[in-house]
Amino acid sequence: MPTFTPTSPTALARLVADRLVELPGRRVLAVDGADAAVPVELGRRIVATLADRGRSAAAVSVHDFVRPASLRMEYGRDDEWSYRTAWFDYAAIRREILDAMREDGRWLPALWDEQRDRSARARIRPAQADLVLVLAGPMLLGRGLDFDLTLRLELSEQAALRLTPVDQRWTLPAVRDHTAENPEDATWTVRWDHPDRAALRS
């Protein structure tokens, strides 16, 4: 039976940063969570905590690695299966972030501008020897991506509905089903219905 320990975004960022500081070299942390959980916000808090401790760090949103709209929306604007399988370019994340950082000492902060539906035109950045990249967004776990550490933000169905705009609720079944079918253990799993009253599972 799992146990839960109360935590907060600040305490969680410190906990994750403590572990990352112990790991030398270039590292990648995944913060997996539905958009309603705003995982990139926590990712940026972790980056700021690492920076305060003198570690190079940057946050990357999965939404900056979407496929063009012609591919994302081939079967309509609200197709659940497309959101799960064709919306985000996980292969590009592997190629342009994970492999590029580890093998070539570089990384790309963004691939595609989701709002304007065109290339992000981001410049490739050099990866400092101690760089931590925090990749944040939905459905990262269960993709065969080689992360050093992982953090999963869990929302109850009620919280997901409450926090998701009505016009985006069609994405929730895709996230729910992907998580259920890929129950990959994360380094940390946190109940995130109310971030100020979060609970860390152990």
- pLDDT at residue 77 greater than cutoff 90: no
3-class state of residue 195 by DSSP:
helix
Residue with tokens 């925090």: 134
Residue with tokens 């190629």: 95
CA angle, corner 168, sides to 163 and 174, nearest 5? Answer: 95
Task: Round to whole Å and give the CA distance between 130 and 149.
Answer: 15
Tokens of 192: 């995130």
Average pLDDT over residues 55-79: 94
What digits encode the pLDDT tens for the residues 136-192?
Answer: 999 999 999 999 999 999 999 999 999 999 999 999 999 999 999 988 789 999 999
Measure CA of the first residue to CA of the last residue in the chain; give whole Å.
9
Do the Cβ atoms of 134 and 151 come closer than 8 Å? Answer: no
pLDDT the model gives residue 154: 96
Task: Round to whole Å and give the CA distance between 22 and 148.
Answer: 12
pLDDT the model gives residue 184: 79
Helix 39-52 with 9-22: angle, nearest 10 deg: 60
What digits encode the pLDDT tens for the residues 93-123?
Answer: 999 999 999 999 999 999 999 999 999 999 9
In this prediction, residue 76 has a pLDDT band, given cuts at 50, 70 and 90, of confident
CA angle, corner 75, sides to 74 and 77, nearest 5? Answer: 90
Identify the CATH class of 4-192.
alpha beta
